[in-house]
Amino acid sequence: MSNFILNGIFRTVIVSSLSILMILIFKKNVFKRFSKKFNYYIWMIVVIKLFLPFTYYTFTINILRSKKDININNINLEGFNNISTVISSILLYTWITSVVIYLIYTIFKYIKLKNLISDLSYEVDDEEIINLYRSILKEFDITKDIKLKYSYEVETPAFFNSCVLLPPHDYKLKELDWIFRHELMHFKSKDLYLKYVILFLKIVYWFNPFVYIMDKHIDLDCELYCDERVLKNRNSEEKKDYALTIINAMRKGTNTSNKFIAGLHKQSDIKKRVKNMFNEKYKNGILMALTLCLLSSITFLKVNTTSVINFNVLPKGLEDAHVIGSITVTTIEFTYADAPKNVREEHKRNCEELGVIPKDSDQIGVGVEYYNSLSKRSR
């Protein structure tokens, strides 16, 4: 079981890391021609793969062998398998322990932040601001009760726990109009949910640096897409006002980004955001997205090559474990479906060691001498 889990995780890490690298390379040239929506949601290919590490469509190829010259030189297979199993178990428990510790720590940080915001926040009581906020809620067709509060815990406007939070600064109504639109657009698009999904993946794949790189780029792409939606069908003057509002809001805060909050993001990315606000010459990218989705489906395929498993030379105890020279083994052929019970059990154990699920169509070649010894033991 430990081999099966580790093989699934390892395979997913390799595939997802290569996918992240490819997306980043394409973003430099090809993807920049497409919309921010495309560049944001293209990450879902990797996210889904990371979220489903053990999901595969399996194709099995059987290779038949009845006789074979086998050269085995001073190999203690049982000892090797035992060591491999111990190492796999240690790695598995280390990974699980780290995930649990990281998860508990993250939950603790979330609860602490939630309590701090609750303690250091108060309702906005300015009628003009409240009326403006309600009018935008109505425009966005949002019926959920989303509170509007001032909070000393945030330094830039943010959305957290079904609440729009404003730092206690003096904002003009024109600035607040853009700020409300930005934060409520995050809510309408469920961006915070994706943020939590990425956070969970960072906990599970804490050892993979590519996941942290992906998180950083998704965060920025989320903000770029939010800007694109807010500024849809807006003229140049309105885009300028929006850009100045974002810049001024960032200047009043620090260069930080909380993993639990959807906000105005970091100052280091503001130049790229402003540049993209005035560039609307983007392609939809629907055809490209479909092509990439089809290609990504390959990562959910797994091919099993099943050959004859020669039990006559695998186990220790029937013969000397240290075998030297060349031997010719005559085998009896079975399929897993019609093999005797003792042969099925032996095949299943060997498959578990390899992290493979036995199939009814598996071809099993059993050495005659070993088969006779199995039959004697089962009597």
Please report the pLDDT score of residue 208 as a whole number. 93
8 A C-beta contact, residue 242 and residue 281: no
Please report the pLDDT score of residue 74 as a whole number. 44
pLDDT at 295 over 90: no
Region 195-204 average pLDDT: 93
Please report the pLDDT score of residue 264 as a whole number. 54
pLDDT at 65 over 90: no
Ranges of each domain in the chain: 97-287, 308-379
Residues 241-277: tens digit of each pLDDT: 998 888 887 776 654 555 666 555 555 577 778 877 7
Q: How confident is the model at residue 327 (pLDDT cuts 50, 70, 90)?
A: very low
Q: Averaging pLDDT over each range in 126-135, 159-168, 268-277, 312-321, which range is the top one? A: 126-135
Region 277-281 average pLDDT: 70
User: What does the alpha-carbon distance between residue 224 and residue 41 come to, in Å, rounded to a whole number?
Assistant: 12
Region 333-357 average pLDDT: 79
Number of Cβ within 10 Å of residue 120's Cβ equals 15
Residue-level length of the chain = 379
Take residue 79 and report the two structure tokens written for it.
């000892």
**pLDDT, averaged across the chain:** 76
Q: How confident is the model at residue 315 (pLDDT cuts 50, 70, 90)?
A: very low
Residues 80-128: tens digit of each pLDDT: 455 567 787 888 899 999 999 999 999 999 898 888 888 888 898 889 9
User: What does the alpha-carbon distance between residue 296 and residue 31 come to, in Å, rounded to a whole number?
Assistant: 16
Please report the pLDDT score of residue 63 as a whole number. 47
Region 65-79 average pLDDT: 45
Please enumerate in sequence order all residues whose Cβ is within 8 A of that of 46, keeping only pairs 6 or more positions apart, or say none.
Answer: 16, 19, 20, 23, 214
Region 46-70 average pLDDT: 61
pLDDT at 191 over 80: yes
User: What does the alpha-carbon distance between residue 89 and residue 96 come to, in Å, rounded to a whole number?
Assistant: 10
Please report the pLDDT score of residue 192 as a whole number. 86
Number of Cβ within 10 Å of residue 223's Cβ equals 27
- The greatest distance separating any two alpha carbons of the chain, rounded to the nearest whole angstrom, comes to 92
8 A C-beta contact, residue 264 and residue 249: yes
User: What does the alpha-carbon distance between residue 230 and residue 182 come to, in Å, rounded to a whole number?
Assistant: 6
* Residue percentage of the chain with pLDDT more than 90: 19
User: What does the alpha-carbon distance between residue 70 and residue 19 come to, in Å, rounded to a whole number?
Assistant: 40
pTM summary value: 0.68
8 A C-beta contact, residue 159 and residue 181: no
Q: How confident is the model at residue 280 (pLDDT cuts 50, 70, 90)?
A: low
Q: Averaging pLDDT over each range in 32-36, 72-76, 361-365, 366-370, which range is the top one? A: 32-36
User: What does the alpha-carbon distance between residue 124 and residue 148 come to, in Å, rounded to a whole number?
Assistant: 6
Q: How confident is the model at residue 215 (pLDDT cuts 50, 70, 90)?
A: very high
Q: Which residues pair with 334 in a beta bridge?
A: 364
Closest alpha carbon to 375 in 340, 349, 333: 340
Q: How confident is the model at residue 302 (pLDDT cuts 50, 70, 90)?
A: low
Q: How confident is the model at residue 210 (pLDDT cuts 50, 70, 90)?
A: very high
- 3-state secondary structure string across the chain: CHHHHHHHHHHHHHHHHHHHHHHHHHHHHCHHHECHHHHHHCCHHHHHHHHCCCCCEEEEEEECCCEEEEECCCCCHHHHHHHHHHHHHHHHHHHHHHHHHHHHHHHHHHHHHHHHHHHCEEECCCHHHHHHHHHHHHHCCCCCCCEEEEECCCCCCEECCCEEEECCCCCCHHHHHHHHHHHHHHHHCCHHHHHHHHHHHHHHCCCCHHHHHHHHHHHHHHHHHHHHHHCCCCCHHHHHHHHHHHHHHHHHCCCCCCCCCEECCCHHHHHHHHHHHCCCCCECCHHHHHHHHHHHHHHHEEEEEEECCCCCCCCCCCCCCCCCCEEEEEEEEEECCCCCHHHHHHHHHHHHHHCCCCCCCCEEEEEHHHHHHHHHHHC
pLDDT at 320 over 80: no
Please report the pLDDT score of residue 319 as a whole number. 39
Please report the pLDDT score of residue 77 as a whole number. 46
